[in-house]
Structure 1
Amino acid sequence: MDKAQKFETQAIRQQIGTTHAQEHSTPLYLTSSFTYEDAEEMRAAFAGEIDKNIYSRFSNPNTEEFVNKICAMEQAEAGYAFASGMAAVFSTFASLLSAGDHILSCRSIFGSTHTVFNKILPKWNISTTYVDLKDTASWEKVVTANTKMIYVETPTNPGVDLVDLNWLGDFAKKNNLILVVDNCFATPYLQQPIKHGADLVIHSATKFIDGQGRVLGGVTVGRKELIDEIYAFSRSTGPAMSPFNAWVLSKSLETLAVRMDRHCDNALKVAQFLESNDQIEWVKYPFLPSHPQHKIAIEQMSAGGGVVSFGIKGGLARGKRFLNQIKMCSLTANLGDSRTIVTHPSSTTHAKLSEEERQKVGITPELIRISVGLEHVDDIIADIRQALDLSI
């Protein structure tokens, strides 16, 4: 693939080689294993002396194409595709961390990642310290001799807060730490953390990368020496993406740019509507000038993404009434769909956190998260408006 080609062209034209049938669209490789011409070729493949597929838990042409596209988009050296976003998150930790290691993380992260940090990794004596994104001076104080990794989301879920990736990349390099960035909300179309010093980038491909709520998937890309360790761990433990899901997701990437343009345009208009509504306490969207990290957003993102968070006047009770009045938009815990999704994080995606933990990360009872879809923006706003009016 010509590296000089633009993002959209790479997403469409980067494909694995054709078969004897000379198909235009990549076929599905629904096979568990692969055959060899003779015993020597088989031996060499298993020894890693030649580049041949062995077993679809290790590699498959469909997952290869999907990973290659993400690597090109993120400007990464290598990658590995997983069955889900959380499989990517956990396997990245499990393959690179050892007993006694320490992680620094922003507080505002996906609820299941909180669970991994607070309940699963401590079983292996791996500890986590949560650090305030806004107080960069505090990060230096919590680095220890055992600190090995920094993990952040930007924008964060569900608060849509931002991390200054240039500052964080310099901080990680100075302290010899592995910087892992969850880029799910932005996608590689809007932001490439590796440009700013990240060592690894993780995506829940279930979200905007698929874009239509069809399949699960995850991917980690970045420095080859780190991906080699992740591959070795995953080859034996089995969290691999299925060939069918990889085929779907690779096709999805062909429309990522046009979809994200529409998501971002719609989300900004929804955010502006909410900000002008006197029934709303506050609104957070990266490309609103009122966002606390707006300057960072316009420096490291090309647009604001498809997620808007806001606080509705009247607290939890009003928020529930608002959700119950939604008619067109969907009530579900997913995001990044072509259909607009409305969620109440403190009772759904982050319900397993204690009230104290939710307060620390800014998940207040009145917080509503909207993943703005691809419907006509007038219809999205009309549904939100009528739900607000009927929930008073």
Structure 2
Amino acid sequence: MSANDFEFQGLQTTAIHAGEKPDSTTRASSPNIVMSSSFVTDADTPFSAENLQGQTTFFYTREGNPTVQQLEQKLAALEGAEACVAFGSGMAAISALMFHQLKSGDHLVMSDVAYVGAAELMKGLIPSFGIQVTRVNTTDLKAVESAIQTNTKLIHIETPCNPIVRLSDIRAIAQIAHAAGAKLSVDSTFATPVATQPLSLGADFVVHSLSKYLCGHGDAIGGAVLGASDELSGIRDLLVHLGGALSPFNAWLIMRGIATLPIRMKAHEENALKVAKFLESHPQVKQMIYPGLPSHPQHELAKRQMRNFSGMIAFQAKDAQVVAPAFAQRLQVIHYAVSLGHQRSLIYYISTQEMLETSFALDETQAEAYRNFAGDGVFRLSVGLEDAEDLCRDLDQTMSIVGK
């Protein structure tokens, strides 16, 4: 079953059925978990992975697995992509994309604010291979254009970005990239395919951390790169040779999560909007950042680019250094923990000084733009599926006591 089998189906139907079909032997309705590392094969099957290109049967799970393949087909259908390669983590997916697209002497333009793992990769390891990296505030299209060099091969953006929920204009940046002979990759983890399909806006690659909204339950780690089939075949080679394979069991858990993704994202958005409005009017909150609010500086772009505003909120609080430990000790419903996109709400304080000193290493203009959103630090709140009234009450009972 190809991704295109569900090209004209509704989103929820695609989330449930794409990549799946009843087992031909048992007639099981749910997909099997094929927990086998190797597969019985014919005597003339090549031993080297390099000679297995185009083979339709399975050989060894690092090179391909039926359960992982089902997940890849489902993701490709949701993103409108020709192909997908699933990895053992989001960072494995990002790393494979970078090493496939870039070599010594090439130049990468990247969002100056992005997931810390990706930011640290581009600050340390990638330049050590002779690859130039320019970090730029990708909300500023002129800055993106000015960063382009003759050897620029890739622009990588994250929208909405982690942790300050700032947006970048995918369509406009795709045009800039293609005019320069470069490609555009978009980390769309915060948005999910329910909100945004970057390929339809001109992007060449989409990256997801499957551990977040796509899994949705905080119990499996995975990553994926999606795009054109010819590009993805090279990325799959890196998966095979660098060994970032996804466990079939995790693939099965993530598929199970995706089945409810559209209805979960609707509930995340509804809850986030209620919590954001509550926090925006709270006396202990200095600044509220949520794309679904008119107060977000890029609300109009969000309305054009996102069909769902997702469940990610960032906010500045008065006396944040006191509020953070109070949240960790007193919250009853919301967990004080990292990660995001789970059914349960998660909150964590992210210090601006720490980010600027360690992960981001921005110049003064970029740092000032970051501070315009984050101040001295932001609480990143992943709004879950609990009752919004309970979430507001949980936040209020801590902040109100601290504020007295």
Which category describes the TM-score, using the shorter chain as reference length?
Answer: over 0.9
Match of 2:388 among 377, 388, 391: 377
- Amino acid in the other structure paired with 2:237: A
How far does residue 47 in structure 1 lie from its aligned partner after superposition?
4.1
* Residues 356 and 52 (structure 1), Cα distance of their counterparts in 2 relative to 1, 3 Å cut: closer
CA deviations over 1:49-86 (Å, ceiling 9, x no partner): 54111111011011111011110110111111000111
User: How many Å separate the matches in 2 of 1:326 and 1:132?
Assistant: 34
Matched ranges for 1:15-94 at <5 A: 15-17=19-21, 18-36=23-41, 38-40=42-44, 46-48=51-53, 50-94=55-99
User: How many Å separate the matches in 1 of 2:389 and 2:337?
Assistant: 21
How far does residue 321 in structure 1 lie from its aligned partner after superposition?
3.6
Aligned to 1:156: 161
Tell whether the 8 Å contact from 1:322 to 1:390 is kept in structure 2 after alignment: no
Aligned to 1:343: 348
- Amino acid in the other structure paired with 1:264: E
* Residues 299 and 349 (structure 1), Cα distance of their counterparts in 2 relative to 1, 3 Å cut: farther
Tell whether the 8 Å contact from 2:213 to 2:340 is kept in structure 1 after alignment: yes
How many corresponding residue pairs?
Answer: 391
CA deviations over 1:136-165 (Å, ceiling 9, x no partner): 112222211111111111001010000111
Matched, 1:388 2:392: no
Matched ranges for 1:1-392 at <5 A: 1-17=5-21, 18-36=23-41, 38-40=42-44, 46-48=51-53, 50-346=55-351, 350=355, 353=358, 357=362, 359=367, 361-362=370-371, 363-392=374-403
Tell whether the 8 Å contact from 2:195 to 2:308 is kept in structure 1 after alignment: yes
- Amino acid in the other structure paired with 1:247: W
* Residues 29 and 350 (structure 1), Cα distance of their counterparts in 2 relative to 1, 3 Å cut: farther
* Residues 352 and 324 (structure 1), Cα distance of their counterparts in 2 relative to 1, 3 Å cut: farther
User: How many Å separate the matches in 1 of 2:326 and 2:25?
Assistant: 59
After TM superposition, the score normalised by the length of structure 2 is 0.92
Q: What secondary structure sits across from 1:368 in the alignment?
A: strand
How far does residue 352 in structure 1 lie from its aligned partner after superposition?
6.8
User: How many Å separate the matches in 2 of 1:248 and 1:379?
Assistant: 28
- Amino acid in the other structure paired with 1:84: S
User: How many Å separate the matches in 2 of 1:288 and 1:317?
Assistant: 27
Further displaced range: 235-244 or 345-354: 345-354
* Residues 42 and 112 (structure 1), Cα distance of their counterparts in 2 relative to 1, 3 Å cut: closer
User: How many Å separate the matches in 1 of 2:131 and 2:45?
Assistant: 42
- Amino acid in the other structure paired with 1:178: K
* Residues 67 and 355 (structure 1), Cα distance of their counterparts in 2 relative to 1, 3 Å cut: closer
User: How many Å separate the matches in 2 of 1:64 and 1:47?
Assistant: 16
Tell whether the 8 Å contact from 2:104 to 2:130 is kept in structure 1 after alignment: yes
How far does residue 351 in structure 1 lie from its aligned partner after superposition?
8.4
How far does residue 2 in structure 1 lie from its aligned partner after superposition?
3.7
User: How many Å separate the matches in 1 of 2:262 and 2:357?
Assistant: 34
User: How many Å separate the matches in 2 of 1:343 and 1:125?
Assistant: 35
Can you give the 5+ residue segments of structure 1 that lack an aligned partner in the other structure?
Answer: none
Q: What secondary structure sits across from 2:96 in the alignment?
A: helix
How far does residue 326 in structure 1 lie from its aligned partner after superposition?
2.2
CA deviations over 1:1-46 (Å, ceiling 9, x no partner): 242111110111123452311111111100111112x323567994
Q: What secondary structure sits across from 1:40 in the alignment?
A: coil
- Amino acid in the other structure paired with 2:62: R
User: How many Å separate the matches in 2 of 1:351 and 1:143?
Assistant: 24
Superposed CA RMSD in Å reads 2.1
Q: What secondary structure sits across from 1:378 in the alignment?
A: helix
Tell whether the 8 Å contact from 2:119 to 2:359 is kept in structure 1 after alignment: no
User: How many Å separate the matches in 1 of 2:359 and 2:316?
Assistant: 20
Sequence identity, in percent?
A: 32
* Residues 2 and 311 (structure 1), Cα distance of their counterparts in 2 relative to 1, 3 Å cut: closer
Further displaced range: 1-10 or 321-330: 321-330
- Amino acid in the other structure paired with 2:381: I
